[in-house]
Amino acid sequence: MIARAALASCEEPFVDPNEVLQFHLRLSRETWDLVRLEKNPGLACDAQYTYQRASFRCGDTEPWIEIGVRHKRGDQRGIDAPEKPPLKLDFNRFDDSLRWPSAMGRLGFRKLTLNNGQSNLSGGVLPNLVAERVAWDLMREQAPFASRTAWAQLWVHFTDVQGNESIEYRGVYLVIEDLDRTAMRRRHGTSCGALLKTTVGRCREELEFDDGAPNDARTAYEAWFHDGAGAATDALQLDDLMRQEALRDVLGNAFDGPLGQQFNNYYRSEPRLGRSRLYPWDLDWLFAAFPLEIAPDTPLDRTCSPLGVKTRCLDSLRPTYAALACELTQSTLAPEHVLEVWNARDATIRPVLRLESDAVWAGEDPLDAALLGSYEATHQRMQSWIPQRIASVREALSCPSDCQASEQPCGVGGCVGKRTCADGAWSTCQVSSSVESCNGLDDDCDGVIDDGCSLDKEDCAKGVSTPRQNISSCGCSSLMGLAWPWIFFFRRCVRGSARRSAPR
């Protein structure tokens, strides 16, 4: 009997970082082999692995649902672990109305990524499992709108033509929320605006997810980006972007982001804000996991994409960028905090990692520190690498040894606050939050405007919008972005029902 970690709720899969989901796939062994052994589809921009039919459930009581599953793209992720391939789960591949979990209704997830703990380069035994999870956890402290993550143990149920079933364990995966139109509604109450995903440089913006009608936010961004007129702050959520990239930079890989290569991000125009925002997408190279293992004193990256040339690399913005990086090293990226998060995530999954030894790794033990590139070797290395890296960055940026003022402005989520200087170090950011209401503001300071808002029949009759657990689509309007926040929803109430002011 395979041991299980603390059980996470299937109805709220991303709530508790110290619990683990239990995922099950049911398919024939032949179909599983098609998933795990399919050859790399090549470098064409539209190339991807083939979806196969499978049944899925979370936990032991959910009903099985039919989904699509395929090998996830990544140059080397599946080579070292053919029994544990990185996966993409597509819940509405064969039924457009299907979402998971069902308790979330239309706001349930359409796709999830399951990363297998390997680096995007060959080698090692789970060197990236905790590193990638911690990178996302820290990123969400600075960018609360970024993808959420969770742990999941995976069991594969093999069926034969006689209906017999055998179950095999496939280890612990990192589950990453995909960002799409539904994810935007979960965050912002509306899916209005363009949503683009950029991948490798040769395929920039080849994937367009639910691209909306032109709007002022996108027009302002494109005019600034292509013509260079005006300040970035007029077209872009610049502070968000600079914080994301400073975090990447400090943790060892700013090149793998929008200011270094102008990919590995989602772009979305924000009609209500009148500006565009970049959402992080790929953080698997942070902490320079095996086999990269860069030295902690490796210089900060200064590669600049066309977007970087207009932001981080501008002489006028370099001091701001450096100040943000210095600030991070005393808050989200303070060594003691990073290690606290790292060790907490390790404590959650360590008890079950050895179970993968025979099932996935042909007897190699992820917890063997003497094994090159093992989970344990990476864990032990990070205990010294993290403080050394932070110290090196602070020295390179000439960060002040202590705070130089009594207080300074700061932000949490969408709220502005302040932090104070005490005993030579900055306090955490203090903001005044309140219960979220549907007013076009981020009242609870979680980085999401009007999260949990809907306009149901009763509210529509009253002309108000109030928080609801299940969010309905918010209306799009050409007025959005022009008069925000005074006009943030333009809707009509027709016979007691909320109607969108523009087609989806």
- Show the tokens assigned to 442: 């981020």
Q: Would you say residue 461 has pLDDT above 80?
A: no
Is 474:449 a contact under the CB 8 Å cutoff?
A: no
Amino acid identity for residue 191 in this structure: S
Q: Would you say residue 447 has pLDDT above 70?
A: no
- The DSSP output letter for 202 is G
Amino acid identity for residue 435 in this structure: V
> At 483, is the pLDDT very low, low, confident or very high (cuts 50, 70, 90)?
very low
Which of 178-182, 266-270, 358-362, 366-370 reaches the highest mean pLDDT?
Answer: 366-370
Is 65:345 a contact under the CB 8 Å cutoff?
A: no
- The DSSP output letter for 117 is S
- Show the tokens assigned to 432: 């005044």
Q: Give the integer Cα–Cα distance in Å for 315 and 41.
A: 42
Q: Would you say residue 1 has pLDDT above 60?
A: no
Q: Give the integer Cα–Cα distance in Å for 266 and 67.
A: 24
Q: Give the integer Cα–Cα distance in Å for 41 and 49.
A: 6
- The DSSP output letter for 174 is E
Q: Where are the beta strands (DSSP E) in 11-159?
A: 20-28, 52-58, 65-71, 87-90, 111-115, 149-159
- Show the tokens assigned to 34: 């098609």
Residue with tokens 């053919």: 82
Residue 383, pLDDT score: 97
Q: Give the integer Cα–Cα distance in Å for 213 and 229.
A: 23
Q: Give the integer Cα–Cα distance in Å for 127 and 50.
A: 27
Longest dimension (CA), the chain: 74
pLDDT digits (tens, 9 = 90+) for 12-31: 999 999 999 999 999 999 99
Q: Would you say residue 431 has pLDDT above 90?
A: no
Q: Give the integer Cα–Cα distance in Å for 440 and 453.
A: 10
Least confident of 142-146, 198-202, 406-410: 198-202
pLDDT digits (tens, 9 = 90+) for 298-339: 888 778 888 888 888 888 899 999 999 999 999 999 999 999
Closest CA to 178 of 63, 249, 93: 93
Average pLDDT over the chain reads: 81
Q: Return the ∠ at Cα 283 (arms to 281 and 289), rounded to 5°.
A: 160
- Show the tokens assigned to 439: 């007013």
Closest CA to 480 of 277, 270, 238, 278: 270
**Better-scored residue on pLDDT, 483 or 131:** 131
- Show the tokens assigned to 387: 């403080």
Is 371:125 a contact under the CB 8 Å cutoff?
A: yes
pLDDT digits (tens, 9 = 90+) for 207-234: 455 556 668 888 888 888 888 777 788 8
Q: Would you say residue 460 has pLDDT above 80?
A: no
> At 284, is the pLDDT very low, low, confident or very high (cuts 50, 70, 90)?
confident
Residue with tokens 């030894």: 357
Residue with tokens 């005393």: 330
For 455-476, letters b (16+ CB in 10 Å) and e give: beeebbeeeebebeeebbbbbb
Peptide bond into 291 cis (omega under 30): yes
> At 242, is the pLDDT very low, low, confident or very high (cuts 50, 70, 90)?
very high
Q: What residues pair up with 196 in beta bridges, in sequence order?
A: 208, 267
Is 192:476 a contact under the CB 8 Å cutoff?
A: yes
Least confident of 95-109, 172-186, 295-309: 295-309
Residue 495, pLDDT score: 30
Residue 201, pLDDT score: 55
Is 194:268 a contact under the CB 8 Å cutoff?
A: yes
- Average pLDDT, integer, range 60-89: 87
Residues 6+ apart with CB under 8 A from 387: 335, 339
Q: Give the integer Cα–Cα distance in Å for 195 and 44.
A: 22
Q: Give the integer Cα–Cα distance in Å for 413 and 223.
A: 27
Residue with tokens 């490796």: 298
What sections of 354-477 are H helices per DSSP?
356-359, 375-396, 457-462
Q: Would you say residue 159 has pLDDT above 70?
A: yes
Q: What residues pair up with 278 in beta bridges, in sequence order?
A: 267
